[in-house]
Amino acid sequence: MRQSQLFTKTRKDAPADEVAKNAKLLIRAGFVDKLQAGVYTYLPLGLRVLKKIENIIREEMNNAGGQEILMPSLQPKENWQTTGRWDTMDDLYKVSDSSGRENALGPTHEEIVVPLVKQFVSSYRDLPFSAYQFQNKFRMELRAKSGILRGREFMMKDMYSFHRDEADMEVFYEKMKGVYANVFERMGIGATTFLTFASGGSFSKYSHEFQTVTPAGEDTIYICDKCHIAVNKEIIEDQNNACPKCHGKNLRTETSVEVGNIFELKTKYSAPFNLSYKDEEGKEQTVVMGCYGIGLGRVLGTVVEVLGDEKGLVWPASISPFNVHLVDLANTIEARQLYDELVAAGVEVLWDDRDLRAGEKFAESDLIGIPIRVVVSAKTIESGKLEVKTRATGEVSMVDRAELFKILESADSRLGRCSKF
Ligand code: ATP
Ligand code: MG
């Protein structure tokens, strides 16, 4: 894409009321716009990142056997009364229309998915299965000061699994731990993200959160480096201040953000809706459930918090809006040819074809954070080489075209399971 065609622009300053690093950088770089506290628009660059995150999650959920659906946001009050959450959920947005009918704006979808699958499940032969969606959630968050880490309207992947008994659910639940680890690894935050033991509430011993270490977080976790797992604040005392795996007491305390979680729901939502099946003996049994969430905007914002530096955003190759930022300083046919060649090879290129000073173009390129910058200038044309800069390390080298393609291929293989880079 030609940068001259991009309708958005970078900005010198973020809005004065924005305190979070993720939102400040994303607004300045032209990735998001703030409509009101906790409510953001994704602009062309930001949406490309969000869609890449979505696609990585989609691949992993499909591999785990999940079937994608899309459920509505506008949800009848009656469904929420069935579980009691119409009255107990503090952050529920309630809307009424001119006919007096009341609805919830979905903060989560157990109240919708359970009556939905009830229509299709009658026998043990119909189980197990899992269904998931990418969908906007609405929550009246009191603290909306963390930029896109805590939205009042935000995109979530929510998956629900349905099983004949707890043993079957637990097998799937264990598998999802690995699936989630893959997701965060592929997004460049694997090393700083910890499987975290959390209290399971009244119906199971543990739930598990995936917590990424960053000062921007609102949570505190206690990490066992030996086991690469953590415990959250609410259960650390129940754990006798020890690692639940090796029982070691050498835990380090960190501030973190919850990027995902998995929960054994058991029969908490299937029971109120009478979601049941007939077992082999023809006996009616309640379906056992699990649920698995990831906040897409929260992951995006977390990547910014963890990897962003004083110059701006730094994208991992797998979720960068473009693979290459081609900065054209000479307005030459060479840049156009290179652009066409890269695009023909399937490389996503943002081509800065604007008539601006080199310094401005470089500063903007650093702010936008595409992993590889290629400069075409009078100097590079004369030498027959291209200047390549790696955004994350700042490393600069002069390479020929063949070497550039090799660099791009190796970016691909370092994150081997990503479709392209
Ligand atoms: P938190 O404790 O941070 O409020 P939660 O326990 O309410 O999170 P869930 O209801 O389990 O979160 O939602 C699943 C996932 O959705 C979370 O792990 C997080 O990644 C994301 N998420 C939750 N609330 C928000 C929000 N307000 N904005 C963006 N993402 C969110
Ligand atoms: Mg919450």
Minimum mean pLDDT range among 64-73, 121-130, 253-262, 325-334: 325-334
Per cent of the chain over pLDDT 90 is 90
Are the C-beta atoms of 225 and 243 separated by less than 8 Å?
A: no
> Tokens at residue 364, please?
């903007």
> Tokens at residue 421, please?
């880079």
Closest-CA residue, ligand 1 atom 21, reads 295
Instruction: Give the model's pLDDT for residue 146.
Output: 95
Task: Output the CA 216–ligand 1 centroid distance in Å.
Answer: 15
Are the C-beta atoms of 158 and 293 separated by less than 8 Å?
A: yes
Give the model confidence (pLDDT) of 241-279 as tens digits: 999 999 999 999 999 999 999 999 999 999 999 999 999
> Which whole number is the average pLDDT over 104-119?
98
Q: Are 151 and 15 within one domain?
A: yes
Task: Read off the pLDDT band of 123 (50, 70, 90).
Answer: very high
Residue 314 has pLDDT above 70, yes or no: yes
Ligand 1: does its nearest atom lie under 6 Å from the Cβ of 139? Answer: yes
Contacts 24+ apart (CB under 8 A), 191-194: 192/306, 193/259, 194/221, 194/223, 194/228, 194/229, 194/230, 194/256
Determine the number of helices (DSSP H) and then strands (DSSP E) in the chain. Answer: 11, 21
Are the C-beta atoms of 290 and 165 separated by less than 8 Å?
A: no
Question: Does 226 fall in a domain?
Answer: yes
Instruction: Give the model's pLDDT for residue 412.
Output: 57
Based on C-alpha coordinates, what's the Rg of the chain?
Answer: 24
> Tokens at residue 314, please?
């730094």
Q: Are 18 and 72 within one domain?
A: yes
Q: Strand, helix or coil at 150?
A: coil
> Which whole number is the average pLDDT over 324-331?
93
Residue 420 has pLDDT above 60, yes or no: no
Question: Does 253 fall in a domain?
Answer: yes
Q: Rounded to whole angstroms, how far apart are CA atoms 116 and 241?
A: 42
Q: Which domain holds residue 52?
A: 7-307
Closest-CA residue, ligand 1 atom 13, reads 293
Q: Are 298 and 349 within one domain?
A: no
Instruction: Give the model's pLDDT for residue 398.
Output: 96
Q: Are 264 and 369 within one domain?
A: no
Instruction: Give the model's pLDDT for residue 143.
Output: 79
Q: Are 356 and 281 within one domain?
A: no
Ligand 1: does its nearest atom lie under 6 Å from the Cβ of 316? Answer: no
Give the residue, out of 298, 302, 303, with the most ligand 1 atoms within 8 A of its beta carbon, to mutate for a pocket test: 298
Q: Rounded to whole angstroms, how far apart are CA atoms 219 and 212?
A: 10
CA angle 77, 89, 117 (to 5 degrees): 55
Residue 15 has pLDDT above 90, yes or no: no
End-of-domain residue from the set 263, 280, 307: 307
Dump strand ranges (E) for 81-200: 93-96, 102-105, 129-138, 153-163, 193-199
Task: Output the CA 9–ligand 1 centroid distance in Å.
Answer: 30
Q: Are 381 and 298 within one domain?
A: no
Are the C-beta atoms of 185 and 216 separated by less than 8 Å?
A: no
Q: Are 154 and 198 within one domain?
A: yes
CATH number at residue 380: 3.40.50.800
Instruction: Give the model's pLDDT for residue 370.
Output: 97
Instruction: Give the model's pLDDT for residue 237.
Output: 86
> Tokens at residue 93, please?
């947005």
Instruction: Give the model's pLDDT for residue 416.
Output: 37
End-of-domain residue from the set 275, 307, 339: 307
Q: Are 125 and 269 within one domain?
A: yes
SS3 string, 19-67, reads: CCHHHHHHHHCCCEEEEECCEEEECHHHHHHHHHHHHHHHHHHHHCCCE
Tally of domains in the chain: 2
* Mean pLDDT estimate for the chain: 94
Q: What are 232's strand-pairing partners?
A: 221
The sign one gets for the Cα dihedral 262, 297, 232, 109 is negative
The sign one gets for the Cα dihedral 40, 46, 51, 52 is negative
Give the model confidence (pLDDT) of 42-75 as tens digits: 999 999 999 999 999 999 999 999 999 999 999 9
Q: What are 196's strand-pairing partners?
A: 209, 230
Question: Does 2 fall in a domain?
Answer: no
DSSP state of 295: E
Task: Read off the pLDDT band of 305 (50, 70, 90).
Answer: very high
Q: What is the largest CA-CA distance in the chain?
A: 82
Question: Does 318 fall in a domain?
Answer: no
Question: Does 375 fall in a domain?
Answer: yes
Question: Does 167 fall in a domain?
Answer: yes
Q: Are 271 and 335 within one domain?
A: no
End-of-domain residue from the set 242, 272, 307: 307
Give the residue, out of 261, 264, 305, with the most ligand 1 atoms within 8 A of its beta carbon, to mutate for a pocket test: 261
Task: Read off the pLDDT band of 203 (50, 70, 90).
Answer: low
Are the C-beta atoms of 370 and 408 separated by less than 8 Å?
A: no
Task: Output the CA 291–ligand 2 centroid distance in Å.
Answer: 15
Are the C-beta atoms of 388 and 373 separated by less than 8 Å?
A: yes
Residue 417 has pLDDT above 60, yes or no: no
Q: Are 274 and 299 within one domain?
A: yes
- In which region does residue 160 sit, left (phi positive, over 0), alpha (psi from -120 to 50) or beta (all else)? beta
Q: Are 117 and 177 within one domain?
A: yes
CATH number at residue 259: 3.30.930.10
> Which whole number is the average pLDDT over 315-343?
94
Question: Does 312 fall in a domain?
Answer: no
Question: Does 315 fall in a domain?
Answer: no
Instruction: Give the model's pLDDT for residue 167.
Output: 98
Instruction: Give the model's pLDDT for residue 421.
Output: 31
Residue 317 has pLDDT above 90, yes or no: yes
Are the C-beta atoms of 284 and 219 separated by less than 8 Å?
A: no
pLDDT, greater one: 201 or 53? 53
Q: Are 136 and 227 within one domain?
A: yes
Look-up: residue for tokens 């080489």?
Answer: 385
Give the model confidence (pLDDT) of 290-302 as tens digits: 999 999 999 999 9
Ligand 1: does its nearest atom lie under 6 Å from the Cβ of 297? Answer: yes
List the one residue out of 343, 326, 305, 276 whose CA is nearest residue 119: 276
The one-letter amino acid code at 8 reads T
